[in-house]
């Protein structure tokens, strides 16, 4: 499986140290669309497409602005790559600082931690050195730690 869909913000990001930041639950408040994931059949398509209306989590946006002053920020999300424009438009509307957006490859139906492990491997193969990962899902955080990346947990309340 490919290592994800990437979009650079305005200019190429040279290899080096980067901070990895999740989008949903860290920057974007997805609580208003969680109902798409209730019940036995989760509607991931509708869940991700509804993200355009998410309010920002301002603490996360401010944290990323602080981090971006010293380190390039790579947004790592399990959103499918075909929603890159929607995601970028949302970030522009809410003033999110970022250098590279790394997303799920369209057609990749793996669990979030599997998708993010592939993205991480691809980033490393291209010379990026993650020095921190910020996420709201325990399985993602566990994966990052197992790969030697320090983590910060953000409590979104989605994974109770």
- CA separation (Å) from 148 to 27, 103, 116? 24, 21, 14
pLDDT in tens, the chain (160 residues): 456 777 788 788 999 999 999 999 999 998 888 788 888 888 878 887 777 889 999 999 999 999 999 999 999 999 889 999 999 999 999 999 999 999 998 888 899 999 999 999 999 999 999 999 999 999 999 999 999 999 999 987 666 5
pLDDT for res 39: 82
| Core vs surface per residue 111-147: b (16+ CB within 10 A) or e | ebbbbbbbbbebbeeeebebebbbbbbeebbebbeee
* pLDDT score for 27: 97
Residue given tokens 């566990």 in the structure block: 142
Confirm if 88 and 113 have CB atoms less than 8 A apart.
no
CATH superfamily of 5-153: HAD superfamily/HAD-like (3.40.50.1000)
Q: Is the dihedral of CA 143, 84, 44, 38 positive or negative?
A: positive
Q: Which two tokens stand for residue 22?
A: 């999740």
pLDDT at site 75: 97
Residue 7: predicted pLDDT: 74
């Amino acid at each position: 499986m490919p290592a994800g869909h990437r979009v650079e913000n305005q200019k190429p990001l040279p290899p080096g140290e980067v901070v990895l930041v999740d989008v949903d639950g860290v920057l974007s408040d997805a609580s208003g669309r969680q109902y798409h994931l209730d019940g036995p059949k989760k509607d991931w398509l509708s869940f991700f497409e509804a993200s355009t209306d998410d309010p920002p989590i301002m603490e996360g946006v401010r944290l990323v602005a602080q981090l971006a002053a010293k380190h390039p920020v790579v947004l790592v999300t399990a959103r499918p790559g075909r929603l890159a424009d929607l995601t970028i438009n949302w970030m522009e509307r809410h003033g999110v600082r970022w250098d590279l957006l790394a997303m799920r490859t369209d057609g990749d139906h793996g669990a979030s931690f599997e998708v993010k492990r592939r993205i991480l491997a691809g980033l490393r193969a291209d010379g990026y050195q993650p020095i921190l990962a910020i996420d709201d899902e325990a399985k993602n955080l566990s994966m990052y730690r197992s790969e030697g990346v320090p983590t910060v947990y953000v409590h979104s309340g989605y994974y109770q």
